A and B are shown apart, each in its own frame.
Chain A
Amino acid sequence: MEFEDVKLETKSYNMYYGDFQALRDVDIQIPRNAITAIIGPSGCGKSTFLRTFNRMNDLISGTRVDGGVYIDDNDVFEMDPVELRYCVGMVFQRPNPFPKSIFDNVAYGPRAHGMRDRADLAEIVERSLREAVLWDEVKDDLNKSGLALSGGQQQRLCIARALAVDPDVILMDEPASALDPIATLKIEELIQQLKKEYTIVIVTHNMQQAARASDYTAFFMMAEDRAGYLVEHGPTDQIFTNPHEETTERYITGRFG
């Protein structure tokens, strides 16, 4: 599927862990200011694919890529990974706040990028926590440890922390899979709010979540050699009601995976 306003793009993208090919020939365009869900069975390379865009795969030794990955038409492999991660934020599967105060958690990114002024930091912390719909719950104890919050609050803190560096893109790797249904719903509402200003790519195992929380859905499968490939990509409504590929239909109706 092609878009007019493309934020992220891969062209004939292949990714290997040593001799094992994890992704094969992925061509995809991800539109700006929309939510794109990545679905597919376990081991199909969804997370690996997600981590391509902020080059977190670089941290694993023995990985190799070929093909192109672009953000705003810039090749991410030509960019400095540290610089790339300013504009591509990430939220992980398990909430992973630092063992620091709520304030210091959110201020971590801006500080790492050299911001020192206390007033500026305070402003960013408040704005980010508001954006992450956590401000009202924590505004009176910003000095409390981030680890003292509930799981759902921790995950929103991690989202606030990612927002504080003012990225364009937010990658989310099953952000609600470790949370209870109410916390999950809050995160989903939050994601809807965020798409106005951010491009969001979310990996999810939860079919209902993809269906209700995303604008576009990309379905990945693995080939016989277990390499992941893109089966189908389109508007979420179409993928869930009228998929072009039979594999997609079989997957979303729960006949495998």
Chain B
Amino acid sequence: MSNRGPVSKSMTREDATFARLVQLAVSTEDETPREKVNLARRRLIQKAAFGLLWLSGIAAVVILLSVVGYVVVQGIQVLNLEFLTTPPAGGLAASDVGGMSTTIISTVYLVFWTIVIAAPLGVMAAIYLVEYAEEVEGGTGLIPAIVSVVRFAVEILAGVPSIIYGLFGYALFVSAVALGWSFSLRSAAVTGAFLVLPVIIRASEEAIKAVPRSYRQASLALGATKWQTAWKVVLPAAAPGIITGIVLSVGRVVSETAVFFVTFGGTVRAPDTVFDLTSPGRSMALHVYYLAMETRAFDKAMGTGAVLILTIILINLLINVVTRRLTAKLKGR
């Protein structure tokens, strides 16, 4: 150890830096207190944040499950084949007798016509907005102006409260002042179609936009027209997204009450056939409302509610299966 002093004295700057680095490397925690405290703090915040996120996630699931669970558990007590196949009794008699069969039928008819009207209209509008209007957008003149108005309108319509659609449908179709269709399948179907139109347009627009440009180029380069390209190439490729939009709309119609309260009437009789457009009816969701508010058949409201919820769950499962199948098919698997 006698040579220690002289070596220290002759230490160059590089040696000093190196020594310092070694010291840092071998040093224990107390050498770098600032970093250590910071790290602990960050770990804590990380844990707290994730704990909070975890709680929120759990809370959401618990809330959903308790709503769904409560209705299903309550409803299941009246649910049996007879309940599903017996027409409801009108008025207060509903507490003692009657099921929900006609409301299922009315709902099916209503969904059928709503989608028959809204789906082609919505998909065509989306094709127009993406395939035809896009190229004129940004320019000046009448068409670009119309296009931006249409886009804006779709955005706004998507956010309009459903009772406003109901009011409109009532004024235009139901009331004798205008078309005078009174409470009927046609009044409800057309108004319902207006309600879901923005949903279908927006879903279809997104799906069509996501179709690769190269498909369109290939088609046009083969001498196909724009319409052929849209119809034969773009639409099939966009099908999973479009179908998702349509099925979502089915869910919307099934669960909607406000609109159909003022357009479909509320009679417990269903229209005779799907083409019996002038008859009024009562959808499942409306039935829940009537039972809960105007009779004492709360158990039957729960039973109908359970069917309604199971229908919605089924629809969502359907979306998953269909889109996964179609996507796999498109990708060639």
Interface residues of A (CB under 8 A from B): 54, 56, 59, 61, 82-86, 89-90, 92, 94, 96-100, 108-109, 111-113, 144-148, 158, 161-162, 165
Which of B135, B222, B237 is in CB contact (< 8 Å) with A85?
B222
Contact of A59 with B217 at beta-carbon distance under 8 Å, contacts A96-B212, A145-B331, A145-B332 already known: yes
Residues of A within 8 A of B135 (CB): 59, 61
CA distance A85 to B135 in the complex (A): 20
CA distance A112 to B139 in the complex (A): 31
Residues of B within 8 A of A89 (CB): 221-222
Q: Is B48 engaged at the interface, CB distance under 8 Å to the other chain?
A: no
Residues of A within 8 A of B329 (CB): 99, 145
Q: Is B228 engaged at the interface, CB distance under 8 Å to the other chain?
A: yes
Residues of B within 8 A of A146 (CB): 332
A96 touches B218 (CB 8 A): yes
Residues of A within 8 A of B228 (CB): 112
Interface size class of B (residues with CB under 8 A): 20 to 34
Q: Is B224 engaged at the interface, CB distance under 8 Å to the other chain?
A: yes
A147 touches B332 (CB 8 A): yes
B223 touches A113 (CB 8 A): yes
Q: Is B148 engaged at the interface, CB distance under 8 Å to the other chain?
A: no
Q: Is B330 engaged at the interface, CB distance under 8 Å to the other chain?
A: yes
Which of A54, A100, A109 is in CB contact (< 8 Å) with B224?
A109
4 A-B pairs closest in CB distance? A145-B332, A148-B332, A147-B332, A96-B214
Residues of B within 8 A of A158 (CB): 218
CA distance A83 to B223 in the complex (A): 6
Q: Is B233 engaged at the interface, CB distance under 8 Å to the other chain?
A: yes
CA distance A111 to B228 in the complex (A): 10
Residues of B within 8 A of A165 (CB): 222-223
Residues of A within 8 A of B220 (CB): 56, 59, 85
CA distance A97 to B332 in the complex (A): 11
> Which B-chain residue is minimally distant from A111 (CB atoms)?
B232
19 residue pairs A–B, Cβ–Cβ below 8 Å: A59-B135, A61-B135, A61-B136, A85-B221, A89-B221, A89-B222, A92-B221, A96-B214, A98-B237, A99-B215, A99-B329, A100-B236, A108-B222, A112-B225, A145-B329, A145-B333, A161-B222, A162-B222, A165-B222
Which of A61, A86, A144, A148 is packed against the most chain B CB atoms within 10 Å? A61
Q: Is B95 engaged at the interface, CB distance under 8 Å to the other chain?
A: no
Which of B138, B217, B232 is in CB contact (< 8 Å) with A108?
B232
Minimum C-beta distance from A170 to chain B (A): 10
> Which B-chain residue is minimally distant from A171 (CB atoms)?
B221
> Which B-chain residue is minimally distant from A99 (CB atoms)?
B330
> Which A-chain residue is minimally distant from B218 (CB atoms)?
A96
Q: Is B219 engaged at the interface, CB distance under 8 Å to the other chain?
A: yes
Contact of A82 with B217 at beta-carbon distance under 8 Å, contacts A99-B331, A147-B331, A148-B332 already known: no
Residues of B within 8 A of A145 (CB): 329-333
Residues of A within 8 A of B331 (CB): 99, 145, 147
- Besides A92-B214, A109-B224, A145-B333, 6 other CB < 8 A contacts? A54-B221, A85-B223, A92-B218, A96-B212, A98-B219, A112-B232
CA distance A59 to B136 in the complex (A): 11
A96 touches B217 (CB 8 A): yes
A56 touches B217 (CB 8 A): yes
> Which A-chain residue is minimally distant from B327 (CB atoms)?
A99
CA distance A94 to B224 in the complex (A): 20
Residues of B within 8 A of A112 (CB): 219, 222-225, 228, 232
CA distance A99 to B328 in the complex (A): 10
> Which A-chain residue is minimally distant from B136 (CB atoms)?
A61
A98 touches B215 (CB 8 A): yes
CA distance A133 to B233 in the complex (A): 25
> Which A-chain residue is minimally distant from B229 (CB atoms)?
A112
CA distance A96 to B222 in the complex (A): 12
> Which A-chain residue is minimally distant from B329 (CB atoms)?
A145
Contact of A90 with B223 at beta-carbon distance under 8 Å, contacts A112-B232, A146-B332 already known: no
B222 touches A144 (CB 8 A): no
Which of A59, A94, A98, A148 is in CB contact (< 8 Å) with B233?
A98
